[in-house]
Each structure stands twice: as C-alpha cells, then as structure tokens.
Amino acid sequence: MTWAATVRHNRPMEPKEDRLRRDMHVERTRLEDGRALLLYSWPVRTDAVAAPPSEQPALDPWSPDAGPADV
C-alpha cells in the first residue's frame, strides 16, 4: 500500500493555474460565430518541425534521433 492510499480526496477542484502556467501564455479570443478560441504559446518553441513523411529518411522510429517534432 502506498502512502497515498489512505488519503481521502473529498475536496472540490482547487485552481492551481500558477503552477501550470509557468511560462505558458493563453490568448483568449472569439471566432466570428462567437465560439471561444484559445491559443497556447510559450516563449521558446520546442517544435523543430518534422519534415513531411515523404521527406524523412528511412524510419527508425525508436532511435533517440527520431524527434523532435511538434505535437
């Protein structure tokens, strides 16, 4: 049994946005028809975008060199 197994969690949700946000930026806007649009960004992008599949070298997908790419 882990230490946490005896802990009861009966509290409501408690926003902890600060811990999540760190350097995350959320831009909130509306589409023309009124639907919400949120754009998440970070000061430094990680995405080093992957080439389209047709341009990629022979795939060794579990190579440490397989990434990075955007999500």
Return residues touching another protein (CB under 8 A).
1-10, 12-13, 15-17, 19-21, 24, 26, 31, 33, 35-42, 45-50, 52-53, 61-62, 64, 66-71
Cα–Cα dist 51/57, whole Å: 9
Quote the least distance from Cβ 10 to another protein, whole Å: 4
Contact 25, 40 (CB under 8 A): yes
For the CB of residue 53, give the shortest distance to another protein in the complex, in Å. 6
Structure tokens at 23: 């350097």
Name all contacts of 66-70 with Cβ < 8 Å and 24+ positions apart: 70/46
Closest approach, Cβ 23 to another protein, in A, equals: 10
